[in-house]
Structure 1
Amino acid sequence: MILVTGATGSIGRHLVRLLRQRQAPFKALVRNPARGRELGGEYVVADFDRPDSLQAAMSGIDRLFLLSAGAEPTSGRQPMVAQQVAAIDAAARAGVRTVVKVSVQGASRSGKLASGAHWSIEQHLEASGLDWSILQPSGFMQNFRTGAGTFTAEGDIIGAYGDGRVPYIDCRDIAACAAALLTEYRDSAQRFVLTGPEALSHTDIAARLSAAYGRTISYVDLPPAQLAARLTAQGLPAQFAEDVAELQAGIAEGTAAHITSAVSDLTGRGPRTFGQFLADHQPATAEPH
């Protein structure tokens, strides 16, 4: 039996669909029973902030998909570390055999934002005695659909990326990789860096969004300090804003441009292009804002 955490999110809901297609037995972990009923399958109610509820949710589970929300932008806090460590500990006590965790590309001890938090969780998972696989995706294409990407009031993309390129990935492809790891036998103790098939600059992305929405969308590049000041003026904590700007400055230097074959290796097919992502979400996609 598989337990899917983050089941109602941008990756988890696609994973639930794929597991159902594969007729793989699973339960979705939800905090709200109404959200569980919306998924249309078996679910268990638990809360990452209540370790006792996690322990009960792990009963009868042998494979765990581990995903929870990252930093709280308004406070800069990273509750994810304590939450996922508690889930790993509960899984070990309950006799769970395998954990598939979603991390981030380039997770490291000194990483900014979620990178350092994910690195800490990865280390705990490695030391847990459980079998594990870690997915390290690049940025999500969905961020340009939901508004989670950074936009001006006029709807233009803003950042400190320069000409740096990112091989953004569709969350559906992340879910497909997770489904393969959860339902097929593979060697454990592996990290998979997941990317899309093309590394795009944010000027490239703006051009493709312009074509999709039928209006001009530009990329506005700012020096990192100016971007941090702008984010702080919008209400983000100063340290959080500075970390965002520093991360984007690293991308400007080419730190995120590498493309991997991991999606093809795990699923047997290539990842979706940004053009395919946009086409698949028309015309329902709201304009970026």
Structure 2
Amino acid sequence: MILVTGASGSVGRRLVRRLAGTPTTAFVRDPAKGDALGGRYAVGDFDDPATLSAALKGVDRVFLNAGGAVPAAGEQPMVRQQLAVIDAAVAAGVSHVVKLSVWHARVGGKLAEGAHGVIEEYLKASGLAWTILQPNGFMQNFSTGTAVTTHDGHLLGAYGDAGVSYVDCEDIAAAAAATLTDPRPGETFVLTGPESLTHSEIAEKLSAFVGRGIRYLDLPAADFATHLTTLGLPDSFATDVATLFAEVASGRLAPVSTDVATLTSRSPSTFDTFLRENATQIRAAW
């Protein structure tokens, strides 16, 4: 039995669909979202140990997945929550955990990179067999608005002219399904798309697809942080986000990995394919 945490999210719901036919339980907080997934689910919360223990009964593999970084004083909540899942998995006799992380996760990093770094190290020391998936930014960010800042209908950021090899969540889910059904213990895989695009190039593609002019507006990191505070984000969080964007401008998210193809035996989706396959949602968003 596989337990998929974060089952109603961008990756989780796609993974649940791909695991149809394999004994799987989706772990959700909202029963309505569990119903929408159309299969077996358990209702619970990472902060409620009893619900974790109940959901893990009879489970031998876990997909460890949760939300991203949030404005918070001190440690990111995801650290406490995912460590609780790992502890519960050990107690339940789980054999293998596949963790969804982020590229460049490391202890001491900013926001999600630092939080996932702590969680990765804890998982590796837990005694459980583990596999870590480190995806680049999600293409779906451009269809949902998540982590994409816009201004008057244009893209806004502090990426400079550096490329980013964004990855489709469908490819992340396919890689996760592969490692859950054919375990690759002790390995870390970096998941990217097949091409590196600048945000100006992405804006051009969006323009052509939705039929209106969309530009990428680049700001210095400090000005971008100031802009984020006008949207209501705390100063410290906005500064950390802007710092990460500035690191992207150095080109650290531009390389292209072959790990999606290694795990799934097919090439990952291009940004153009992503646009075509999500046309209704993208046109509604833009």
- Normalising by structure 2, we get a TM-score of 0.97
Deviations 1:161-190 (A, max 9, x none): 00111100000000000000011143x111
Is 1:195 the counterpart of 2:158 in the alignment?
Answer: no
Of 140, 143, 154, 1:142 maps to 140
1:53 shift after superposition: 1.2
1:76 shift after superposition: 8.5
Structure 2 unmatched runs, 5+ = none
Question: Does the Cα contact within 8 Å between 1:196 and 1:272 map onto a contact in 2?
Answer: yes
Distance 1:250 1:185 in 2: 33
Distance 1:211 1:73 in 2: 35
Q: CA 1:81/1:268 → structure 2, altered by over 3 Å: closer, same or farther?
A: same
Aligned to 1:236: 233
Q: CA 1:76/1:159 → structure 2, altered by over 3 Å: closer, same or farther?
A: farther
1:151 shift after superposition: 3.2
Within 5 Å, which residues of 2 pair with 1:44-123?
Answer: 44-73=42-71, 78-123=76-121
Distance 1:77 1:208 in 2: 38
CA RMSD of aligned residues (A): 1.4
Is 1:282 the counterpart of 2:279 in the alignment?
Answer: yes
Question: Does the Cα contact within 8 Å between 1:165 and 1:200 map onto a contact in 2?
Answer: yes
1:30 shift after superposition: 1.1
Aligned to 2:218: 221
Aligned to 1:124: 122
Distance 1:252 1:71 in 2: 20
Comparing 249-258 with 125-134, greater Cα deviation is found at 249-258
Question: Does the Cα contact within 8 Å between 2:102 and 2:136 map onto a contact in 1?
Answer: yes
- Give 1:40's aligned amino acid: G
Distance 2:282 2:205 in 1: 14
- Give 1:176's aligned amino acid: A
1:75 shift after superposition: 7.0
Aligned to 1:269: 266
1:29 shift after superposition: 0.7
Question: Does the Cα contact within 8 Å between 1:158 and 1:222 map onto a contact in 2?
Answer: yes
Comparing 42-51 with 144-153, greater Cα deviation is found at 144-153
1:221 shift after superposition: 0.4
Give the secondary structure class of the aligned counterpart of 1:220: strand
Q: CA 1:42/1:174 → structure 2, altered by over 3 Å: closer, same or farther?
A: same
Question: Does the Cα contact within 8 Å between 1:73 and 1:240 map onto a contact in 2?
Answer: yes
Aligned to 1:182: 180
Comparing 73-82 with 86-95, greater Cα deviation is found at 73-82
Give the secondary structure class of the aligned counterpart of 1:285: helix
Question: Does the Cα contact within 8 Å between 1:74 and 1:237 map onto a contact in 2?
Answer: no
Deviations 1:144-166 (A, max 9, x none): 11111333341101011001111
- Give 1:236's aligned amino acid: L
Distance 2:68 2:279 in 1: 28
Distance 1:5 1:165 in 2: 31
Give the secondary structure class of the aligned counterpart of 1:263: helix
- Normalising by structure 1, we get a TM-score of 0.96
1:6 shift after superposition: 0.8
Distance 1:245 1:288 in 2: 24
Give the secondary structure class of the aligned counterpart of 2:149: coil
- Give 1:280's aligned amino acid: E
Q: CA 1:67/1:86 → structure 2, altered by over 3 Å: closer, same or farther?
A: same
Distance 1:151 1:261 in 2: 29
Q: CA 1:134/1:185 → structure 2, altered by over 3 Å: closer, same or farther?
A: closer
Q: How many residues align?
A: 286
Distance 2:244 2:59 in 1: 37
Comparing 219-228 with 29-38, greater Cα deviation is found at 29-38
